[in-house]
Amino acid sequence: MIKRSLQQIAEMVSAQNDRSPFAEKIITGVSIDSRKIENGNLFIPFKGEVSDGHKYVEESISKGAAAALWQRDVPN
């Protein structure tokens, strides 16, 4: 199980970070499947040919995801 802050993860993946007030939020795991989210996970939505994982971000947050890694060119 990983334990990193959102700031550390943003730096690891060279993500755009707008100095979020949640930068120190601790992430305790990662999931690409909204059906398998656990409390404290970072949800990583993939955009594929058939489905766009971004449409499951809200569901993932409601199931306990601490944050989602959002693709910059996908409307929020």
In degrees, rounded to 5, the angle at the alpha carbon of residue 21 between the alpha carbons of residues 19 and 23 is: 70
**Which parts of the chain register pLDDT below 50?**
none
- The conformation of residue 74, written as its DSSP 8-state character, comes to S
- Res 15: pLDDT: 78
> What pLDDT is recorded for position 23?
82
Q: How far apart are CA 72 and CA 16, in angstroms?
A: 8
Contact indicator for 35, 58 with CB cutoff of 8 Å: no
* pLDDT score for 18: 62
For residue 46, which amino acid is it?
Answer: F
pLDDT at 2: 72
First-to-last alpha carbon distance for the chain, in angstroms, is: 28
Domains for the chain: give ranges and CATH numbers.
4-13+25-68 (3.40.1390.10)
What does pTM read for this prediction? 0.81
CA distance 48 to 55: 12
Query: In this predicted structure, what is the pLDDT of residue 29?
Result: 93
